[in-house]
Every structure is written in structure tokens, then in C-alpha cells.
């Protein structure tokens, strides 16, 4: 089935640093989504991308829908302690067989004050 390769698997950074993570796939997706999961909670949607090449920001977060439609990137600028959590990418193909959304395995972010 379809798979998303999300990297890096984990990051341990200093407060104030910028963060970059990405997802790649061998398949084309129509929509890319980025979620954040706080410790002990369910994932929450951060950003949704609907067009190839689209660049969208949400505060200090910026995400891009790759031109090839096979990848997406998430950047966090000037990280703060509350950015700690697991970030998931998800790709959507309309009419997929296993539900619609395919999730990456997540990037675990730790921030040192």
C-alpha cells in the first residue's frame, strides 16, 4: 500500500532554533496535512495544503506542498518549549481503499530551554 517516509524520526534542539522536517512518498497526493500531537493527547491539525507548490503559514509554522505532489515540508521558526510533541504528515488521495488519509510515522521534537 501507499507509504509516507517522514524524517527525521526525532529531533533534539535548543530553544530559539529553527526546525525542518519533511515527508516523501512514491505516490502522488491531492492534499497534504500536518498534525501535532501533544503528550497525552490526540493529534491536532496544524496546516492543510491543497495545491502543488502551495506555501502556507500558521504563526511560526510554514508548510509547503511539493511541486511533484510527492512530498511536503514543515518548518518551525524560533522554536519554544511548547513546540514539544510529535509532528505527523498525512497525505490524502480521494477514493483511497484504506480510508482516505495516509500518515507518516511522525517526527518527535524535543526542545531544550
Partner 1 sequence: NAGVTQTPKFQVLKTGQSMTLQCAQDMNHNSMYWYRQDPGMGLRLIYYSASEGTTDKGEVPNGYNVSRLNKREFSLRLESAAPSQTSVYFCATGTGGSIRGYTFGSGTRLTVV
Least gap, CB of 43 to partner 1 (angstroms): 5
CA distances from residue 93 to 9, 40, 63, 98 in whole angstroms, order as listed: 24, 29, 19, 10
Q: Please, are residues 92 and 33 in contact by the beta-carbon 8 Å criterion?
A: yes
The contact mask relative to partner 1 for 27-46 (x = CB under 8 A, - = no) is ---xx-x-x----xxxxxx-
How far apart are alpha carbons 19 and 75 in whole angstroms? Answer: 5
| Segment 73 to 112, residues that bind partner 1, using CB under 8 A | 88, 90, 92, 94, 98-101, 103-106
Least gap, CB of 82 to partner 1 (angstroms): 18
Find the distance separating the first CA and the last CA of the chain, reported in whole Å.
40
Nearer to partner 1, 17 or 88 (CB): 88
The C-alpha cell at 24 is 516523501
Task: Verify binding: residue 55, partner 1, rule CB under 8 A.
Answer: no
Nearer to partner 1, 59 or 99 (CB): 99
- Count of CB atoms situated within 10 Å of the CB of 31: 18
Residues in contact with partner 1 by the rule CB under 8 A: 1, 6, 9, 30-31, 33, 35, 40-45, 48, 50, 88, 90, 92, 94, 98-101, 103-106
Amino acid at each position: 500500500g501507499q507509504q509516507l517516509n517522514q524524517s527525521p524520526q526525532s529531533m533534539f534542539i535548543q530553544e530559539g532554533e529553527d526546525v525542518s522536517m519533511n515527508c516523501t512518498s512514491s505516490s502522488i497526493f491531492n492534499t497534504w496535512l500536518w498534525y501535532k500531537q501533544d503528550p497525552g493527547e490526540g493529534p491536532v491539525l496544524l496546516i492543510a495544503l491543497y495545491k502543488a507548490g502551495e506555501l502556507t503559514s500558521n504563526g511560526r509554522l510554514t508548510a509547503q506542498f511539493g511541486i511533484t505532489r510527492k512530498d511536503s515540508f514543515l518548518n518551525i521558526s524560533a522554536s519554544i518549549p511548547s513546540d514539544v510533541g510529535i509532528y505527523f504528515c498525512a497525505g490524502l488521495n480521494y477514493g483511497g481503499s484504506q480510508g482516505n488519509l495516509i500518515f507518516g510515522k511522525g517526527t518527535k521534537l524535543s526542545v531544550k530551554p
